[in-house]
Amino acid sequence: MENLTLEGSAKTPTVSFDSDNGVLELKGRSIPENSIEFYKPVINWLDSYITDPNHHTLLVIKLEYFNTSSSKCLVEILRRLESLKEQSIVKVKWCYEEEDEDMQESGEDFKEIIKVPIEMVLVREN
């Protein structure tokens, strides 16, 4: 299966999904004009990945900010990972900066609704 790489912009996150290593990463800002359209290839890639996943799957979320429509897409991504629990050891690392209470709270909210382990990772600014 091919990896998925999308270059980030001021409004869209960098997407780096590596099927060989089972490491999936979203990084940057997620405020696209049309979240559903932006995340469509990501969801499609996950649908293919689910058919033959790596033994370990790690999703790393390093978002500085995301809008409400991106939040709905993140739920879709996390729900797909929930469906992998029988075939893969699934973990999520939710990274947030020390001063960013909004991103910390968002991660905590996802922890309550998603049935995969979400590790909260505090990133200290240098």
Tell me the C-alpha distance between 119 and 94, whole Å.
Answer: 6
Percent of the chain, pLDDT > 90? 94
Burial class (CB in 10 A: 0-12, 13-18, 19+), 95: buried
Domains observed in the chain: 4-123 (3.30.750)
Alpha helices in 1-126 (DSSP H): 35-51, 68-82, 101-113
Span 33-43, pLDDT tens digits:
999 999 999 99
Confidence of residue 86 (pLDDT cuts 50, 70, 90): confident
- pTM for the predicted model, two decimal places: 0.95
Residue 42 has what pLDDT?
98
